[in-house]
Amino acid sequence: MSKPMTKTQLVSALADEMGADKKTATSALDAIVKVITDEVAGGGAVTLPGVGKIYCRERPERMVRNPATGEQIKKEADKVVKMTIAKALKDSVNG
């Protein structure tokens, strides 16, 4: 498995794809990340066509086990960010 693409590499690829400079690509990427973060943090969901859907899911209160001691601990309810991958992306990866 290869290393994940860094933000710098993503900005360079985005700038090349857009035919713009890196400053514009960085601004575009930062704006997209902010919109997604604000929407998901507010309980909404964002669908990126061809990529997938990012959403927030609430997990109920539950009992968990401390692996070091084996002690059962009550974990409070919390929220977790999830992503469902689009079929188009899965199909392009699997050929």
pLDDT single digits (tens) 75-95: 999 999 999 999 999 999 998
User: 77 and 92: one domain?
Assistant: yes
pTM: 0.79
- Measured distance CA(73)–CA(87) in Å, rounded: 38
User: 54 and 37: one domain?
Assistant: no
Strands 72-75 and 78-85: unpaired
Phi, psi of 56 (to 5 degrees): -110, 135
User: 50 and 82: one domain?
Assistant: yes
pLDDT single digits (tens) 7-63: 999 999 999 999 999 999 999 999 999 999 999 999 999 999 999 999 999 999 999
Q: Which structural domain, as residue segments, surrounds residue 74?
A: 46-95
User: 94 and 50: one domain?
Assistant: yes
